[in-house]
């Protein structure tokens, strides 16, 4: 059972209209008077019906003084309410009823408003955000420098880039330009902060590009693309169902934080070629996460405001992904690392000569 307790406050004059709207979406609700000439309705609504209920309430009462809606999580309901599992809310005459496939995919998704609330705090550029980004990059850099995978996993759990990454895919799906600009600016600032700090770190520590944890961040394999796509899809699937941000963060951070830290270390140690190759892995992962993220948001039933805009953005991301796949394929065809295939071999020879 997946349900929400929705509390709706409207003026006394709108009681009749509100009752009619609520009755179309749930069977169990009650009302009580509140001070100020207002009435409060409390109703238990199936999660899959929250989207349509809030949309209908907003379209009818958004300009009315005193109107407000509060959505709360429900842990249990007794006695059981049949429609939570068996039927779909009644649709108005001008609405197309959802298909069984749509019901199946959206039955456990939290509403768009809840998604906005969950992601809002992570898009604010605060000192804590920048500090968390820097600490995450530091842990990842030192973990890769010493070849300790467990330490790198620690950086993944911090996951400071989770919010902006999810917000970019969500903004593209909804066609929300404002959300997209905020997500992009927050993500860019976070990446730059991590990159600048790890560049400075690379100037003071010895960086061995032959360490497997660092070397792996300079080579893009088809498996890396598949990993990033899986991270984006799994992250959105968990996020849209209200999972813990830390849990989702592990899925996303595995594809973002380590390449940034590796690029910074290489730039700081005087290996710009390897640094740019690590940034190419980062760019590939970001594109994959957005492609998979948009697709999964659509599968989860997130309603685009304009299908033309959403489709256009998705096709742009998809075209970039195809280009990157072609570049990776070309690199494999001409050697392990494409045009820069001899870089690591040259570094290894130089290190052996010095020793």
Cα 136 from chain centre: 18
Distance CA 129, CA 184 (A): 15
165 closest CA partner among 241, 231, 258, 223: 231
- Mean pLDDT within 320-336: 77
Closest CA to 248 of 169, 173, 142, 137: 169
User: Is 336 a residue whose pLDDT tops 70?
Assistant: no
Angle (CA) 220-221-225 rounded to 5° is 85
Tell me the pLDDT tens digit for each residue of 218-277: 888 888 888 888 888 888 887 777 665 555 555 555 568 889 999 999 999 988 989 999
H helices of 147-244, in order, are: 149-158, 162-174, 177-204, 212-215, 222-239
The residue among 37 and 349 whose pLDDT is bigger is: 37
Determine the pLDDT at residue 53: 87
User: Residue 341's pLDDT is what?
Assistant: 46
- Decide which of 53 and 84 is more confident: 53
pLDDT of residue 97 exceeding 60, the answer is no
* Percent of the chain whose predicted confidence (pLDDT) is above 70: 78
Q: Which of 211-220, 229-238, 320-329 reaches the highest mean pLDDT? A: 320-329
Q: Is the pTM of this model over 0.85?
A: no
Q: What is the pLDDT of residue 353?
A: 53
> How distant is the alpha carbon of residue 107 from its chain centre?
20
CA angle 269, 274, 279 (to 5 degrees): 110
CA neighbor of 227 nearest in space, from 277, 176, 284: 284
Instruction: Give residue 113's pLDDT.
Output: 78
pLDDT at 199 over 90: yes
Q: Report d(CA 72, CA 65) in Å as an integer.
A: 22
Mean pLDDT over 305-327 rounds to 91
Average pLDDT, the chain: 80
Instruction: Set out the domains of the chain in order of their start, with CATH numbers.
Output: 3-106 (3.30.70.120), 112-354 (no CATH)
Q: Burial of 189 by CB count in 10 Å (0-12 exposed, 13-18 middle, 19+ buried)? A: middle
Quickly state the pLDDT bin for 45 (edges 50, 70, 90): confident
Instruction: Write down the pLDDT at residue 305.
Output: 84
24-33 long-range contacts, CB within 8 A, separation 24+: 24/56, 24/89, 24/90, 24/91, 24/92, 25/49, 25/52, 25/53, 25/56, 25/89, 25/90, 26/53, 26/81, 26/83, 26/89, 27/81, 27/82, 27/83, 28/81
User: What is the structure's pLDDT at 318?
Assistant: 94
Distance of CA 147 to CAs 89, 214, 232, 346, Å?
Answer: 54, 8, 26, 21
Q: Over range 9-24, report the average pLDDT.
A: 91
Higher pLDDT, 112 or 324: 324
Arithmetic mean of pLDDT, 195-223: 86
**Per-residue tokens: 204:** 């003071």
pLDDT tens track for 71-83 = 887 877 777 776 5
Average pLDDT over residues 67-93: 68
Q: What does the pLDDT look like over 274-312, one tens digit per residue?
A: 999 999 999 998 999 899 999 988 888 788 888 888 999
Give the pLDDT confidence score for residue 266 in this predicted structure.
93
Q: Residue 89: what pLDDT?
A: 44
Do the bridges between strand 29-34 and strand 68-73 make them parallel or antiparallel, or are there none, so unpaired?
A: unpaired
What pLDDT shows up at residue 88?
44
Cα–Cα distance between 263 and 279 in angstroms, integer? 6
For residue 265, the number of C-alpha atoms closer than 13 Å in the C-beta half-sphere is 29
CA distances (Å), origin 24, targets 59, 129, 198, 348: 15, 43, 56, 70
Q: Structure tokens of 74?
A: 């429900």
Cβ contact 85:61 at 8 Å: no
Distance of CA 79 to the CA centre of its chain: 36
- Quote the pLDDT of residue 338: 44
pLDDT at 96 over 60: no
């Amino acid at each position: 059972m997946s349900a929400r307790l929705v509390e709706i406050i409207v003026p006394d004059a709108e009681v009749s209209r509100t009752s009619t709207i609520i009755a179309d979406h749930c069977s169990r609700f009650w009302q009580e008077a509140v001070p100020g000439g207002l009435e409060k309705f409390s109703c238990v609504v199936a999660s899959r019906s929250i989207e349509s209920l809030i949309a209908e309430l907003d379209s009818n009462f958004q300009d009315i003084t005193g109107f407000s809606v509060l959505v709360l999580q429900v842990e249990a309901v007794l006695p059981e309410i049949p429609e939570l599992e068996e039927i779909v809310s009644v649709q108005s005459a001008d609405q197309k009823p959802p298909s069984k496939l749509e019901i199946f995919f959206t039955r456990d998704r939290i509403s768009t408003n809840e998604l906005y609330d969950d992601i809002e705090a992570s898009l604010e550029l605060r000192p804590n955000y920048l500090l968390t980004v820097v600490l995450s990059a530091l842990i990842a850099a030192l973990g890769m420098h010493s070849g300790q995978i467990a330490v790198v996993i620690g950086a993944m759990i911090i996951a400071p880039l989770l919010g902006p990454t999810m917000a970019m895919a969500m903004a593209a799906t909804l066609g929300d330009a404002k959300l997209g600009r905020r997500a992009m600016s927050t993500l860019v600032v976070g990446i730059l902060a991590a990159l600048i700090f790890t560049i400075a770190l690379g100037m003071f520590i010895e960086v061995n590009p032959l360490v497997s944890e660092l070397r792996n961040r300079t080579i893009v394999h088809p498996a890396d693309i598949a990993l990033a796509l899986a991270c984006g899809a799994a992250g959105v699937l968990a996020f849209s169902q209200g999972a813990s941000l830390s849990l989702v963060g592990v899925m996303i951070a595995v594809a973002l934080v380590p390449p940034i830290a590796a690029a910074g270390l290489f730039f700081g140690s005087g290996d710009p070629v390897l640094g740019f190759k690590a940034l190419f892995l980062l760019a590939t992962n970001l594109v994959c996460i957005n492609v998979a993220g948009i697709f999964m948001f659509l599968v989860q039933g997130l309603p685009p405001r304009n299908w033309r805009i959403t489709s256009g953005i998705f096709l742009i991301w998809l075209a970039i992904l195809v280009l990157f796949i072609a570049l990776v394929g070309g690199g494999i065809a001409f050697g392990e690392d494409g045009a820069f295939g001899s870089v690591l071999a040259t570094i290894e020879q130089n290190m052996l000569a010095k020793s």
